[in-house]
Amino acid sequence: MKSIFKYILIAAIALSIFSCSKESDRIIPIPEDSLKTLTIFHINDQHGQLNNFAKIKDIVAKEKMETNVLLVCSGDVFSGNPVVDNHPEKGFPMIDLMNKTGFDISVIGNHEFDYGEAILKDRFNQSQFDWVCANVDMNNSGIPEPPEYKTITIDGLRVTFLGLVETNGKDNDIIPSTHPWRVQNLTFEKYQNVIGNYAQLKETENSDLYVALTHLGEGTDYNIANNYPYFDLIIGGHSHTKVNTKINNIPIYQAGSNLNYLGKIELEIEDKKIKK
């Protein structure tokens, strides 16, 4: 009789352990959703125009309540408005408003050099956002050397921006379209001579999205898409055109000029690729 009770007790204990084990197995961690959403707002060639920054700030703030947002500029911040160009501190109002609007990054445009090296140094130091450009060397000018690229992390997404500026300002020389005296202590390279150095940047930065942030013009952006197809998308400036197209399956965008337009790119990114 004792043996029977012994076996019943052992069986009951085993059943209890098994039941607890099964119940524990049902508590399964839910994997983080690999699909991420991102909105990139972009402007270019504002040329000192100030009127629409309040609208941009409001639009961006509302979008940030819904998803991840980056605000970027494709260059030519200065030259075109006397309020900015003739300010006691040339260019100060434009950078002040870009800071207050919450820009994340800008590429250098050719007209950023119009005020000369000393003033560009001041405007760079004033900026609360990053400047990028891979084909300029500030040498000993005192202007802070911009990084060639910048990776911004937002909600686990790593977005890398490579900056490039045009260099068609003078025959038999490699400078942007500005007065040669304004850049006499700086060294520039044609974008074709440097862009290949960053072909593997997405991999080395472990980025989810690789963006060419250019001030080269629409036609050159098309050329990049055809001949240097390692970017997920291209956001450009310089030609003052509205661009929303795909070349070689790479989306290319540009938002006109003079702050008449705000570009909006809505992205779904999964496994380091644009899904939509």
Answer yes or no: are the C-beta atoms of 100 and 57 closer than 8 Å: yes
Residues 6+ apart with CB under 8 A from 107: 73, 74, 75, 131, 132, 133, 161, 163, 164, 165, 213, 214, 215, 237
> Can you tell me which residue has the tokens 């997920």?
232
Which pLDDT tens digits describe the chain residue by residue (276 residues)? 444 444 444 444 444 434 444 444 566 554 556 899 999 999 999 999 999 999 999 999 999 999 999 999 999 999 999 999 999 999 999 999 999 999 999 999 999 999 999 999 999 999 999 999 999 999 999 999 999 999 999 999 999 999 999 999 999 999 999 999 999 999 999 999 999 999 999 999 999 999 999 999 999 999 999 999 999 999 999 999 999 999 999 999 999 999 999 999 999 999 999 999
Give me the helix-helix angle, 92-101 and 117-126, nearest 10°: 20
Q: pTM for the full model?
A: 0.88
pLDDT score for 34:
84
The H-or-E segment that residue 165 falls in is: strand 157-165
CATH number of 30-274: 3.60.21.10
Summarize pLDDT for 46-94 with one digit per residue, the tens: 999 999 999 999 999 999 999 999 999 999 999 999 999 999 999 999 9
Torsional class of 201: left (φ above 0), alpha (ψ -120 to 50), beta (otherwise): alpha
Give the residue extent of every domain in the chain: 30-274
pLDDT score for 27:
62
